[in-house]
Amino acid sequence: MDFTPDDTQAETTALSARVLGKSADAAEQWRALAGAGLLALALPADLGGDGLGFAEVAARADRSRPRGCRAALHEPSAPLTTVPDTVGEAADGVWQLTGVKTGVPYAADATRILTPVALPGGTAVALIDPCADGVDLVRTPSSGGSPEYTVRLAGVRLADTEFLRDRSPGHAVATLHRFALAGALALGDGLLAGALALTTRHLAERTQFGRPLAAFQAVAQQIADVYVAARTVHLAATSAGWRLAAGLDADTELDVAAYWLTDQAPAALATCHHLHGGLGVDREYPLHRYSSAVKDLGRAIGGAAHRLGRLGERVAG
């Protein structure tokens, strides 16, 4: 398998870096991404998009956290659940939805919230307006301070056309989980690579006893461990994304990459902080944003123990 980015993917990555580098404000970044056409990469041409696939979207995702449609993937004590306790019941010619979703990022700013629900005879993904009657958004804390919510649904009314239905049992929910996980991996890959680059530059520029910190053997060994972790996550995430973009079965690769990210990234970021010394915990220095985002991302995909359990179940059949 050749994971070398093609010209389109390379240009997408470069354009994303240029656009995002112009401002640190999330709202301005979002508008700039839209202005550059980077939010329409995967839309079909008849809807004004470029008709590209996951590989091109991932090239942008590892550098940004765009908003639009958000996904309500978790329920209390059930990350990425495939058997939702949120249910829909037919009433008066419409569906009424009841349940609780947790850890929904940017829910208040979303156009629609993609919400897995159980319906009579199977599952579906509901398209819920966060401003609809019966929707209650409760802000909850996150490590990085990004908006995150518990979404409570109490008799939310939806028409039959406001659902993504299953082509086969569990298809809609599984597809949502698959692409959400792949996007999280692309973002996590970028976060770990960014923290590595920041730390490597610091070690090359900071001197002690007349020598760059990178020249000390113990320091070199520790940053080498971070490099190995970053490259391992990158390879696993790229392999999973490549299979997904090629239309191949990527579920095992996604589970492997998710485990590596949740297991390796937190320890790697802790080492980056250690190698920065006191500067690593300074609020004015950007490293804390990488580590906070990694913590939130790891929690969003269930944590290392959950991911290892999912991988074990898949391997065991």
The mean pLDDT of the chain is 89
CATH for the 171-316 domain, from 3.40.50.300, 3.30.565.10, 1.20.140.10, 3.20.20.70: 1.20.140.10
Give how far Cα 138 sits from Cα of 110, 146, 158, 180, 298, Å: 14, 14, 21, 22, 21
Instruction: Write down the residue that tokens 């966060």 correspond to.
Output: 130
Q: How far apart are CA 275 and CA 41, in angstroms?
A: 38
**For the segment 21-60, what is each residue's pLDDT rounded down to a tens digit?**
787 777 787 788 778 877 777 777 776 776 666 776 776 5
What is residue 41's predicted lDDT score, i.e. its pLDDT? 74
Q: What pLDDT sits at residue 231?
A: 96
Helix (H) or strand (E) holding 264: helix 251-276
> Could you tell me which of 248, 291, 237 has the C-alpha nearest to residue 62?
237
Neighbours of 121 (CB within 10 A): 8
Q: Residue 11: helix, strand or coil by DSSP?
A: helix
Average pLDDT over residues 218-226: 97
Question: From CA 96, how far away is CA 157, in angstroms rounded?
Answer: 5
Helix (H) / strand (E) containing 128: strand 122-128
* Beta bridge pairs of residue 158: 95
Higher-pLDDT residue of 44, 190? 190
What is the dihedral angle through the alpha carbons of 14, 16, 20, 26, rounded to the nearest 10 degrees? Answer: -170
pLDDT of residue 195: 96
What pLDDT does 68 receive? 55
Spell out the residues 6+ positions from residue 55 whose beta carbon is closer than 8 angstroms to its own: 5, 9, 241, 242, 245
* 56 C-beta neighbours (distance < 10 Å), count: 22
pLDDT of residue 306: 93
Residues 6+ apart with CB under 8 A from 78: 85
CA distances 93 to 89, 124, 133, 171, 270, Å, are 10, 18, 17, 25, 54
Tell me, what's the pLDDT at 67? 46
Query: What's the pLDDT score for residue 60?
Result: 53
Are 102 and 90 in contact by the 8 Å Cβ rule? The answer is no
φ, ψ for residue 113, nearest 5 deg: -110, 120
SS3 assignment, position 84 = coil
Under the banding of pLDDT at 50, 70 and 90, the label for residue 248 is: very high
Q: Give the relative orientation of helices 287-300 and 303-316 as an angle to the nearest 10 degrees.
A: 40
- Determine the average pLDDT of the residues in 191-211: 95
| 3-state SS, residue 42 | coil
Q: Where are the domains of the chain?
A: 7-66, 70-165, 171-316
Element (H, E) at 93: none
Domain topology for 70-165: Butyryl-CoA Dehydrogenase, subunit A; domain 2 (2.40.110)
Around 146, how many Cα atoms within 13 Å sit in the side-chain half-sphere?
A: 23
| Confidence band, pLDDT 50/70/90 cuts, at residue 6 | confident
